[in-house]
Chains A and B, each alone.
Chain A
Amino acid sequence: MASQEESSQPSDTLTTLKTESETLKTKLEEERAKLHDVELHQVAEKIEALGQFVIKNRRTLKGHGNKVLCMDWCKDKRRIVSSSQDGKVIVWDAFTTNKEHAVTMPCTWVMACAYAPSGCAVACGGLDNKCSVYPLSLDKNENLAAKKKSVAMHTNYLSACCFTNSDMQILTSSGDGTCALWDVESGQMLQSFHGHAADVLCLDLAPSETGNTFVSGGCDKKACVWDMRTGQCIQSFETHESDINSVRYYPSGDAFASGSDDATCRLYDLRADREVAIYSKESIIFGASSVDFSFSGRLLFGGYNDYTINVWDVLKGTRMSILFGHENRVSTLRVSPDGTAFCSGSWDNTLRIWA
């Protein structure tokens, strides 16, 4: 193989490689198709349909002056961090709706925020191309911005960030097409993940029992599963017809869901290595911006650009419910750590808690 680099016709080699790549792509599809013996919803025909359940808007968090772009729950199941277009990052007590901390970032469009596992810090970033960590002080008068620590540096906007299993490492995704793993203390990049052909918009860490992997989704319509230790892409899925705005692991870690601008959400099983369900309706024509599973994985909540939240039966593939309440696009949605509620954030400047 080494001799080919010295050979006289680079275009021949390129053609050979392109042909090989097309052959491999076909082979990949054939291998996947061989195992496609049934649809998920067919397997699910035998189980009972879900009864009516009531999910309502129980709390509305008002205080952001502009579009809410991202939110995350604290492990204590009651605190929430949210970030907005006007550069504000707010920590709320979702039970009481009180604001506990507020930070003003030096940039607008804070597209990503995350709560540290300890509950003692939050990370955020956006158009500043960085991810910064702010330790949360018990002293309400303390200026949080003074203790800010810049951790990640990308060459384009930060689209998502997530602490790993400790406060010590952060995973980021960016408009520069890469993801990266950083050491919080030193700010050093520990691993980078290359493979997306366009902006990476979202990521999710596999549940801890499943090991060191994460999934990312991007403007190249691809979802990729990565090995955090080696930086290698271990599986990739390209069935969406537009940008993937959100990815979230199924609670067992064996599958993940995605939400896309193509107005569908999809479920990909990692062991079957293929898409196993599409959640869509002809009447849903606006993109899905954010998805998350209920505790058992039976329900998939999707926030959409038509201001609604659709609740899907993951196994049967049917829509159970539509939730109205937001007055503009739903931009972010996460189920609480113990599954008792979920929170949605919107371009209507509010966050809502549903239970």
Chain B
Amino acid sequence: MSGSSNIVAMKKVVQQLRFEANINRVKVSQAAAELQQFCIQNALQDPLLTGVSSSTNPFRTQKVCSFL
């Protein structure tokens, strides 16, 4: 009966929504502060951010291109 399989599917949707509605959340201000904190703490180790010089970034050393 397609009617009862629709019901089974809808029950799953409702169960899932109940679960998601009840999770613990933090305020955006707190979450944002932590994202920012992580960026700042790791900024110096981020080569693309700091622009690591040629001597330490293997991709920036001058190489002769090999034509394939």
Q: Could you list some 17 contacts between A and B, CB below 8 A?
A: A17-B13, A24-B14, A28-B21, A35-B28, A40-B32, A43-B32, A95-B63, A97-B66, A272-B27, A273-B25, A294-B46, A295-B49, A297-B42, A338-B47, A340-B52, A342-B48, A355-B59
Binds B, one of A50-58, A183-191, A240-248, A283-291: A50-58
**In the complex, are the beta carbons of B35 and A295 less than 8 A apart?**
no
Within 8 A of A (CB), among B11-63: 11, 13-14, 16-21, 23, 25-36, 38-43, 45-52, 57-60, 63
Cα of A210 to Cα of B16 in the assembled complex, Å: 23
Cα of A341 to Cα of B62 in the assembled complex, Å: 15
Q: What's the nearest-Cβ distance from chain A to residue B2, in Å?
A: 9
Does A250 belong to the interface (CB within 8 Å)?
yes
Does A63 belong to the interface (CB within 8 Å)?
yes
On chain B, the number of residues with a Cβ less than 8 Å from chain A's Cβ atoms is: 50
**In the complex, are the beta carbons of B58 and A315 less than 8 A apart?**
no
| Shortest Cβ-Cβ A-B pairs, 5 listed | A296-B42, A10-B3, A24-B17, A296-B46, A355-B59
Residues of A within 8 A of B10 (CB): 14, 17-18, 21
Cα of A59 to Cα of B47 in the assembled complex, Å: 17
On chain A, the number of residues with a Cβ less than 8 Å from chain B's Cβ atoms is: 74
Cα of A4 to Cα of B26 in the assembled complex, Å: 37
Residues of A within 8 A of B18 (CB): 24
Within 8 A of B (CB), among A61-88: 62-63, 78
Given the interface contacts A17-B14, A37-B29, A340-B59, does A315 sit within 8 Å of B39 by beta carbon?
Answer: yes
Given the interface contacts A20-B14, A272-B31, does A234 sit within 8 Å of B59 by beta carbon?
Answer: no
Cα of A44 to Cα of B36 in the assembled complex, Å: 7
Does A114 belong to the interface (CB within 8 Å)?
no
Cα of A98 to Cα of B68 in the assembled complex, Å: 8
Residues of A within 8 A of B39 (CB): 296-298, 314-315
**In the complex, are the beta carbons of A269 and B14 less than 8 A apart?**
no
Within 8 A of B (CB), among A2-22: 4-5, 10-11, 13-14, 17-18, 20-21
